[in-house]
Amino acid sequence: MFRLALKSVKHSPKRLILTAFAVALGVSLVAATQVFTNSLSSGFSDLFEDIYAGSDVIVEEAPDADEDEGDPFAAAEGILSSDDVDAIGAVEGVEIAAGGLQVAGAVLGPDYAESAGGDPFANAGPPSQIVNWYGDPRVDQATVIDGRGVESDGEVVLDVDSAPTLGYEIGDDVAIATETGVSLFELVGTVRFGDENNLQGATLAYVSDADAHTLADDPNYSSAAVIAAEGEDLDRLAGRIGDVIPEGTRAITGEDKAAEQTEQLDDVLQYVDIFAIAFGLIALFVGAYIIVNTFRIIVTQRTREFGLMRAIGVTGSQIRRMILLEAVVIAFVASTLGIIMGYLLALGFAGLVTLFSGDIFGTLTLPLDAVLWSYALGTAVTMIAAIMPAIHASRIAPMEALRESATSGKKPLKVRNIVGSAMFLVGAGVISIGLFGDFERPYIYVGAGAVTLVIGATLLSAQILSPLAGAMRPVLSRWFRVDGKLAANNIQREPRRSSNTAAALMIGVMLLALVATFTESLKTVVTEEFASTQADVFATSSQGAMPPGAIDAIEGVDGVELTSSIGFSQAQYDDMAYSVAVLEPETASEVFEYQSEPSVDELGPGQTYIDANIQDLGVEVGEEITLTSPEGDVTLEVAGTLSREGEGNFWVDFATGEDLFGEVPIVQTMVVFDDSIVADDADNPDGATTVSEQTEAVQAVLTDDYPLVILAQPGQLEQLANTFIDLLLGVISALLGSALVIALLGVANTLLLSVTERTREIGLLRAVGLKRSSVWRMITVESMVMAIFGTVLGMILGVALGSALVLSLADFGFDGVTIPWIWLAFYTIAAAVAGVLAAIWPAWRASRLNILAAIAADG
Amino acid sequence: MTTTEVPALAATMRDGFKDYGTGEAAVRALDGINVDIARSEFTAIMGPSGSGKSTLLHTLAGLDGLSAGSSTIADTTITSLSEAQITEVRRKYIGFVFQSFNLIPSLNARENITLPLDISGTKVDPEWFDNIIGILGLGERLTHLPAELSGGQQQRVAVARALVARPEIIFADEPSGNLDSKSGSELLAFMQSAVKDFGQTIVMVTHDPTAAAYADRILFLEDGQIVDEMREPTADRVLDRMKQMGH
Ligand SMILES: Nc1ncnc2c1ncn2[C@@H]1O[C@H](COP(=O)(O)OP(=O)(O)OP(=O)(O)O)[C@@H](O)[C@H]1O
Ligand SMILES: [Mg+2]
Write the pLDDT tens digit of every residue in A245-265. Answer: 887 788 888 888 888 888 887
pLDDT tens column, A65-99 = 444 443 333 445 567 888 888 888 888 888 888 88
3-state secondary structure of A313: coil
Which residues in chain B are contacts of A410 at CB distance < 8 A?
none
- pLDDT in the model for residue A506: 86
Protein residue with least CA distance to atom 4, ligand 1: B20
B66 CB near a chain A CB, below 8 Å?
A: no
pLDDT tens column, B177-211 = 888 888 888 889 989 988 998 889 999 999 888 99
DSSP E strand boundaries for A505-606: 537-541, 560-573, 576-583, 596-597
- Classify the complex by whether its ipTM is higher than 0.85, answering yes or no: no
- pLDDT in the model for residue A239: 84
- pLDDT in the model for residue A680: 66
Q: A482, A490, A758, A766: best mutation site toward chain B, by most B Cβ within 10 Å?
A: A482
Please name the amino acid found at residue B137. Answer: G
A43-57, A234-248, A318-332, B120-134, range with the lowest pLDDT: A43-57
Contacts of A225 (CB under 8 A, 6+ apart): A54, A55, A57, A58, A59, A96, A97, A98, A100, A134, A139
Is the CB of B27 within 6 Å of ligand 1?
yes
- pLDDT in the model for residue A124: 47
Q: Which of A771, A774, A851 sits opposite B63 (nearest CB)?
A: A851
- Are A772 and B84 an interchain contact pair (Cβ–Cβ within 8 Å)? yes
When mean pLDDT is compared over A672-686, A746-760, A817-831, B65-79, the highest value belongs to B65-79
CA atoms within a 13 Å half-sphere pointing along the CA-CB vector of A149? 17
pLDDT tens column, B142-185 = 998 888 888 888 888 998 988 888 898 999 988 888 888 888 88
- Can you tell me the distance from the alpha carbon of A288 to that of A500, in angstroms, rounded to the nearest whole number? 10
Task: Find the radius of gyration of the CA atoms of chain A.
Answer: 34
Is the CB of B20 within 6 Å of ligand 1?
yes
Cβ pair A584, A541 in contact under 8 A: no
- Can you tell me the distance from the alpha carbon of A707 to that of A165, in angstroms, rounded to the nearest whole number? 20
Residues paired with B37 in a beta bridge:
B11
- Are B102 and A764 an interchain contact pair (Cβ–Cβ within 8 Å)? yes
Protein residue with least CA distance to atom 25, ligand 1: B49
Q: Which of A489, A771, A851 sits opposite B107 (nearest CB)?
A: A489
- Can you tell me the distance from the alpha carbon of A151 to that of B138, in angstroms, rounded to the nearest whole number? 109
Which residues in chain A are contacts of B64 at CB distance < 8 A?
851-852
Protein residue with least CA distance to atom 6, ligand 1: B20
B126 CB near a chain A CB, below 8 Å?
A: no
Chain B nearest CA to A788, separation (Å): 22
- pLDDT in the model for residue A259: 83
B122 CB near a chain A CB, below 8 Å?
A: no
- Are B105 and A760 an interchain contact pair (Cβ–Cβ within 8 Å)? no
Residues paired with A283 in a beta bridge:
none
A382 CA to centre of own chain: 28
How large is the average pLDDT for residues A40-52?
74
Cβ pair A150, A133 in contact under 8 A: yes
Whether the bond between A598 and the residue before it is cis, its omega within 30 degrees of 0, is yes
Q: DSSP string spanning A692-734?
A: HHHHHHHHHHHHHH-TTEEEE-HHHHHHHHHHHHHHHHHHHHH
DSSP secondary structure letter of residue B6: P
Whether B34 has a pLDDT exceeding 90, the answer reads: yes
Distance of CA B234 from the midpoint of ligand 1 (Å):
27
DSSP secondary structure letter of residue A10: H
Q: Kind of pairing, strands B225-231 and B217-222?
A: antiparallel
- pLDDT in the model for residue A645: 63
Contacts of A29 (CB under 8 A, 6+ apart): A276, A277, A279, A280, A283, A342, A345, A735, A738
B96 CB near a chain A CB, below 8 Å?
A: yes
Chain A nearest CA to B234, separation (Å): 32
Q: Which helix (H) or strand (E) holds A489?
A: helix A442-493
- Can you tell me the distance from the alpha carbon of A200 to that of A261, in angstroms, rounded to the nearest whole number? 15
Nearest to A493 by CA among B115, B108, B112: B108
**Measured between alpha carbons, how far is residue B7 from residues A606, B35, B44, B226, B232 in Å?**
118, 14, 19, 21, 18
For chain B, what percentages of helix, strand and coil (3-state, to nearest 5) are there?
A: 40, 25, 35
Is the CB of B53 within 6 Å of ligand 1?
yes
Cβ pair A701, A554 in contact under 8 A: yes
What residues are neighbours of ligand 2 (ion), with CB under 5 Å?
A: B 54
